[in-house]
Amino acid sequence: MTEHLSAIPNVMTIAGSDSGGGAGIQADIKAISATGSYASSAITALTAQNTQGVSGIVAVAPDFVQQQLDAVFSDINIAAVKIGMLADSHVIEAVASKLREYRPNIVVLDPVMVATSGDLLLEPSAIASLKSELLPLATVITPNLPEAAALLGCAVPTNQAEMDALIDELRKLDTQAVLLKGGHLEQETHSTDLLITADSVERLTAERVATSNTHGTGCTLSSALASYLAQGQSLSQAVASAKAYITDALKQADSLAVGQGHGPVQHFFALHKQSETQG
C-alpha cells in the first residue's frame, strides 16, 4: 500500500540570475530546496558575475517577465513568492501587476537596492515604484541596513542604537512587517535582526560567524523565510527558522572552495553532514 505523503509546497522566486551561483535565482532555488519546498522561478535580469564582482547586467524585458509569471501561476499552485533583484521601475510595475492579478497569499520582498560597494542598484524613481507598487503587497520585507536607509532616505546606521532608531520610521512604510537585518554592524560580536510589526518588535540574535564566504546571504535568508512560511509556520517561527538556517549555512561556508573572492554560503550543509555520517 502506498503511503500518503503531504504535498511539498511550491515557492516561486522572482529575481536576477547570478552566473557564479552564489546569489540571486541560483541561491534562492538552493535555499528553497534545502529547506523543504519546491522552487520555481521568474528571471528579471541576467548578470555576468563571480565571487569577485559583477561585470555586466542585462535586464529582462518586462513583458517577458510577465510571460514567465503567467506560465508559472497558471499551472502551479504557488504557496509563497520571494522577490529579489528587480532591474528598474518597468520591471517593478510588471511584477506588481501580476501579483495583484494572481494574489499569492505570501510575498517575501528582499529589496535589493544597494551593492556591497554602497552604490545604489536602483534609480530613485525605481525605489519610489518599489515603495508604492510592491511594499503594499508584501507579507514581510527583509532590508539590510543600507537598504533600509535607502527606503527611508536616511543615513546608514553604524551601531545598534542607530538601528533601533529606525523602528518607528519603518513602521510607517506601507507594508505588513519588516525584518531589519543587522549583519552590516560588523563590529558587534553578535548579529541581531529585528522583526518589526505594527505592535511588536522581536529581536533575533545569533553569534557572528567568522567567514569571508558571505555572498548571497540576503537572498538565502529571504528564500528560506518564504519556504518556511509556505510550510505553514507563523511569521515569528519562520523568521527564527530562516535565521537558524542561514547561521548554519555560514558556519559551513568554508567547506566550499568556490572562487577567489567572497564565496557563497553552504546551502546544503545538512545533506553534506548526512553524507559524512553515512560515509
Each residue's pLDDT tens digit, 49-75 = 998 888 888 999 999 999 999 999 999
Given this model, what pLDDT does residue 69 score?
A: 98
217 is catalytic: yes
154 is catalytic: no
Residue 4 lies in a domain: no
Residue 1 lies in a domain: no
**Residue 144 has which C-alpha cell?**
539590510
Q: What is the DSSP string of the chain?
A: -PPP-PPPPEEEEEEEEETTSSSHHHHHHHHHHHTT-EEEEEEEEEEEEETTEEEEEEEPPHHHHHHHHHHHHTTS-EEEEEE----SHHHHHHHHHHHHHH--S-EEE----B-TTS-BSS-HHHHHHIIIIIGGG-SEE--BHHHHHHHHTSPPP-SHHHHHTTHHHHHTSSSS-EEEB-TT-TTSSEEEEEEE-SS-EEEEEEEPP--S--BTHHHHHHHHHHHHHHTT--HHHHHHHHHHHHHHHHHTGGG----SSS-B--TTHHHHHHHHHH-
Count: domains in the chain: 1
Average pLDDT over residues 73-78: 98
Q: Are strands 10-18 and 38-50 parallel, antiparallel or unpaired?
A: parallel
181 is catalytic: yes
Q: Is the pLDDT confidence value at 118 over 80?
A: no
Residue 5 lies in a domain: no
Q: Residue 206 belongs to what domain range?
A: 10-273
Q: Are strands 53-59 and 38-50 parallel, antiparallel or unpaired?
A: antiparallel
Band of pLDDT at residue 276, cut at 50, 70 and 90: low
Give me the chain's average pLDDT, please: 91
Residue 38 lies in a domain: yes
Catalytic residue among 219, 220, 243, 263: 219
Residue 90 lies in a domain: yes
Given this model, what pLDDT does residue 1 score?
A: 39
Residue 278 lies in a domain: no
Catalytic residue among 47, 142, 217, 220: 217
Given this model, what pLDDT does residue 272 score?
A: 76
Given this model, what pLDDT does residue 274 score?
A: 62
**Residue 252 has which C-alpha cell?**
559551513
Q: Is the pLDDT confidence value at 24 over 80?
A: yes
Q: Who has greater pLDDT, 47 or 188?
A: 47
**Dihedral sign for Cα atoms in the order 113, 216, 214, 188:** positive
Residue 279 lies in a domain: no
Average pLDDT over residues 194-223: 92
Catalytic residue among 35, 142, 214, 220: 214
CATH number for the domain that contains residue 167: 3.40.1190.20
Task: List pLDDT tens digits, range 156-203.
Answer: 999 999 999 999 999 999 999 999 998 878 777 788 999 999 999 999
Catalytic residue among 216, 220, 243, 263: 216
Catalytic residue among 98, 131, 181, 243: 181
